[in-house]
């Protein structure tokens, strides 16, 4: 089985101290054949991710790792953009020359406030605001994959429990249909399996609905912020994908999705 992990953060992200070399070594140790680094990035000065990454340093370090591990591991250069639909021109101008392999799009903030703070203003409306922001992102942003589709639950579940899929099914369906129309995929993010959440992001119902609507482009990512988490629960995610009727997981090369049989 060709194992791939397409979501990693290292010390090029504001919230990780992991080193790229250690991530690569851990991937090899866990018999993963391909990884993609996806550091947080925002052009919004009010976002915590702003100003952390230095692209020349980031891409040089990826190249060094590619040279060091080329016989053991395929390493791709990606990015995780925060609210990429809000400042499209600025993102485009900065990213166009970089020739990246892969772009994740995510919503971490609502009106320049972290999702945790949005929850304090009211539980059901926080989810509505979050999913509406996701719809805006998928309608206009230049991305390949929606990262951790129902991320709001990461911050909500301890106090409020899990959200009711059926309550938000209509807006979720709109997001997925728009994604499929624009050839944007979703990821199975395994980070929730390592916490009390005990489920992937998105939940099983979202993955099933994506498949029912005709969605095909699916990646798997551990969302590692430490070397120890690299490759965590990848096989669980593959079983989940298979159980939902997917026969392929995707890798990317210069933004082009390439199917790999499960």
Per residue in 194-251, pLDDT (tens digit) is 999 999 999 999 999 999 999 999 999 999 999 999 999 999 999 999 999 999 999 9
- Give the span between the Cα atoms of 197 and 94, in whole angstroms: 36
Structural domain including 116 reads 4-261
Confidence at residue 50, expressed as pLDDT on a 0 to 100 scale? 84
Residue with tokens 């953060």: 9
Q: How far is CA 93 from CA 76, 108, 206, 250, in A?
A: 21, 22, 33, 27
Average pLDDT of span 90-97: 94
Residue 48 pLDDT exceeds 80: no
The phi, psi pair for 37, rounded to 5°, reads -80, 135
* Residue listed under structure tokens 């993963």: 32
* Token duo for residue 29: 């140790």
Q: For residue 239, give Cα distances in angstroms to 101, 121, 152, 244, 251.
A: 26, 37, 24, 9, 17
- pTM of the predicted structure, to 2 decimals: 0.96
CA 173 to the chain's CA centroid: 19
Output the domain CATH number for residue 23. 3.20.20.140
Number of domains in the chain: 1
At 128, is the pLDDT very low, low, confident or very high (cuts 50, 70, 90)?
very high
Higher pLDDT, 124 or 134: 134
Q: Which has more pLDDT, 116 or 76?
A: 76
Percentage, residues of the chain above pLDDT 90: 92
pLDDT band at 47 (very low <50, low <70, confident <90, very high): confident
């Amino acid at each position: 089985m060709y194992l791939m992990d397409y979501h990693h953060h290292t010390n090029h992200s504001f919230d990780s101290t992991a080193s790229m070399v250690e991530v690569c070594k851990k991937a090899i140790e866990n018999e993963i054949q391909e990884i993609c680094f996806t550091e947080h990035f925002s052009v919004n000065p009010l976002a915590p991710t702003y100003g952390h990454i230095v692209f020349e340093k980031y891409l040089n370090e990826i190249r060094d790792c590619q040279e060091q591990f080329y016989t053991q591991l395929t390493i791709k250069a990606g990015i995780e953009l925060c609210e990429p639909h809000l400042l499209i021109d600025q993102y485009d101008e900065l990213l166009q020359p970089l020739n990246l392999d892969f772009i994740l799009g995510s919503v971490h903030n609502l009106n320049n406030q972290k999702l945790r703070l949005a929850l304090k203003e009211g539980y059901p409306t926080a989810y509505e605001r979050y999913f509406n922001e996701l719809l805006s992102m998928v309608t206009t942003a230049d991305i390949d994959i929606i990262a951790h589709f129902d991320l709001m639950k990461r911050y909500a579940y301890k106090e409020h429990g899990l959200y009711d899929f059926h309550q938000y099914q209509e807006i979720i369906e709109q997001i997925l249909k728009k994604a499929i129309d624009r050839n944007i995929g979703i990821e199975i993010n395994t980070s929730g399996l390592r916490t009390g959440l005990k489920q992937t992001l998105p939940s099983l119902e979202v993955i099933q609905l994506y498949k029912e609507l005709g969605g095909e482009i699916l990646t798997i990512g551990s969302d590692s912020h430490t070397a120890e988490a690299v490759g965590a629960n990848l096989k669980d995610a593959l079983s989940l994908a298979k159980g939902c009727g997917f026969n392929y997981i995707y890798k990317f090369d210069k933004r082009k999705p390439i199917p790999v049989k499960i």
